[in-house]
Amino acid sequence: MEKAINRQRVLLDHLRPSSSHNFESTLSASACLAGDSAAYQRTSAYGDDVVIVAAYRTPQCKSKRGGFKDTHADDLLAPVLQALIEKTNLDPREVGDIVVGSVLAPGSQRASECRMAAFYAGFPETVPIRTVNRQCSSGLQAVADVAASIKAGFYEIGIGAGVESMTFNQMAWDGDVNPKLKNFQKAQDCLLPMGITSENVAHRFGVTRQEQDQAAVDSHRKAAAATASGRFKDEIIPVTTKIVDPKTGDEKPIIVSVDDGIRPETSVAGLGKLKAVFKKDGTTTAGNSSQISDGAGAVLLMKRSVAVRKGLPILGVFRTFTAVGVDPAIMGVGPAVAIPAAVKAAGLELEDIDLFEINEAFASQFVYCRKKLELDPQKINVNGGAMAIGHPLGATGARCVATLLHEMKRRGRDCRFGVVSMCIGTGMGAAAVFESGDGSDELCNAGNVIRSTSSSIITVIANFSSLSNATLEFQEITNAVSNRCACIYLIAVEIFELVKKCPIFLGFSHRNDKGTLWITTG
C-alpha cells in the first residue's frame, strides 16, 4: 500500500500544473516510468505544451525525371511555408524562427535559398531563418529544435521545415579525404556507401531478399491506396511550377499535386528480376531502396496557450525527441535503438504507440527494425513509405510528421500516440513521439471521463485512515471508460457527502482493458 501511495504522490507532483497545490515529494519523477503506460511525462504546465497546429508537404517527385526536375529548392520550400500562414491566418510577424533541415546543398547557399523562400512566402525581414543538417533526420531535427526553443522560452511560435532537391544537389564528397581516416575504422565506415550499409544489415541480421522485396511491394500498395482514396490531400500542398523539355528547351507550366514515384503495379515477381546494385551477390536493389526525390515540408509549432488564444485547432502535441549513435557500418539499425529511447523518455511503452512512420531508407533496415522491435505491421507506414513515396533527405522528417499527424487525426481518439523515426548516415538514429491533438484533453476535463465511469464496476481495494490526508486506490474491473485514456489526468473536484468541500486530487490511467483510479484528499 505504501508503495502505491508513494507512486501516486510522485505522479501528482510530476503532473500537476504550476498553479496546483504544492505536494511535498522527495522521489524522482523517473519513478513513474516503470509503471502504467499512462505515466508519460508532463514536465510543464498544460498551457506550456508545445503543439502542432499545421503540417504540410509538397508532393514527393522523382529526382531528375519527376515533376520537380526543373524546380529550385527555394521554390519547393516557399509553397509549404506560405500554406502554414494562409491556412491558419497567422500573422507571419509573430513567428520567432524558421528552422529548415537540408542535407546536400552547400551550407551557405542553402541558407540563402531558405531566406529567399521565406520572402517568397510573405514573411517579413524581421523573421529569422536557419538551416540544420543531421543527414536524413534533418527535417525532424528542425521540428525538434523549434519545439525545444519554444519550451525554453526563446519564442512562442516557430516553424520546423525541410527541403531537398536531389536533382540539383547530388550526393558527393567535395575535396580530399583526410589521410588520418586510415587509423580509425569507425571513421572509415562513415564513408561507406549507404547501399553497402544496407547489405551489411541484411547479411548480419539475416534479412532475406524475399522479405525486402515484399516490404517494397507493401509500401507501393499502401501508398497507391492512400493516393487513390485521397488520404494525402490534407497534407499535400499543390505546387505551381514548370517543366522543361530537355530536347527543345521549351517550358511548360504545370501543377504538381501528387507523389509521382508510386508504382501500384509493383510485384515481388517483378522486383525479383532486378539485380543487386551495391554487391554482386547482394540483396539491395533499386526496387527495395528508397527513391531519390525532390520535395519539401513544413510544420507550425507553438505554445498550447497561444494556439488556444488564437482559436487554432491542435493537430498534435510534441512530446519527446531522441537521437542516438550506432555502428556506422550498419547505420540502418538506428530506429531500433532510437525508438525505444524516445518512447521511454515519454514514459510510454512500445505497445502504447498506435502509429509509426519509419523512414524506409532501405528495405533491409526497415524490416530489421520492425522485427527487432516486434512491431505490429498494421501500425507501421500505413500509407506507404519512402520506397514508394520518396526520400528527399532533408525534407523526409517534416514529411513524416505531416503524414503521421494527419493520419492520427483521421483515426480520432482511437489513435493517441505516434512515432516518427529514421536511420541516419554515418551511424545514428532519431525518433520523436507525438500525441494526437484530439487525445490530449485539458486536465480539468478529466472529470467528465471519470464521472462517466459506472460506480457499480469499481471496487475499493484500499481504505483511508484520515480524511485530511488519505489515498484511495480503485481498481477498474472492466473497460468502463470509453476511448483509450493512456494519459494520467490531474484534477481537483468535490465529492459531495464524502469530503464536503474538501478538494481532492484524482489521477486516472487506462491501459488495454484495465485501469487504475487514484484519489488523494488535499
Our answer to whether residue 136 is catalytic in this structure is: yes
Strand-pair category, 61-62 with 50-57:
unpaired
Assign 3-class secondary structure to 335-346: HHHHHHHHHHHC
Residue 62 is placed in which grid cell?
522523382
Q: Which residues contact 238 (CB under 8 A, 6 or more apart)?
A: 59, 255, 256, 257
Among candidate residues 14, 220, 391, 406, the one labeled active-site is 391
DSSP string, 387-428: TTS---GGGHHHHHHHHHHHHHHHHGGG--EEEEEEEETTTE
Our answer to whether residue 423 is catalytic in this structure is: yes
Phi, psi of 396 (to 5 degrees): -55, -45
Among candidate residues 32, 61, 136, 485, the one labeled active-site is 136
Phi, psi of 26 (to 5 degrees): -100, 0
Number of Cβ atoms within 10 Å of the Cβ of 501: 6
Phi, psi of 214 (to 5 degrees): -65, -40
Dihedral angle, C-alpha 305, 308, 313, 315, nearest 10 °: 10
Question: What distance in Å separates the CA atoms of residue 359 and residue 331, rounded to the nearest whole number?
Answer: 13
Among candidate residues 400, 415, 423, 485, the one labeled active-site is 423
Contact indicator for 138, 98 with CB cutoff of 8 Å: no
Question: What distance in Å separates the CA atoms of residue 430 and residue 392, rounded to the nearest whole number?
Answer: 17
Question: What distance in Å separates the CA atoms of residue 202 and residue 466, rounded to the nearest whole number?
Answer: 62
Contact indicator for 284, 198 with CB cutoff of 8 Å: yes
Contact indicator for 163, 114 with CB cutoff of 8 Å: yes
The SS3 call for residue 280 is coil
Residue 119 is placed in which grid cell?
520572402
Q: Which residues contact 260 (CB under 8 A, 6 or more apart)?
A: 59, 60, 61, 62, 66, 67
Question: What distance in Å separates the CA atoms of residue 305 and residue 302, rounded to the nearest whole number?
Answer: 8
Give long-range contacts, CB 8 A cutoff, 24+ apart: 463-467: 464/521, 467/499, 467/502, 467/521
Our answer to whether residue 190 is catalytic in this structure is: no
**Measuring CA to CA, which residue among 408, 346, 363, 361 is closest to residue 382?**
408
Residues labelled as active-site residues: 136, 391, 423
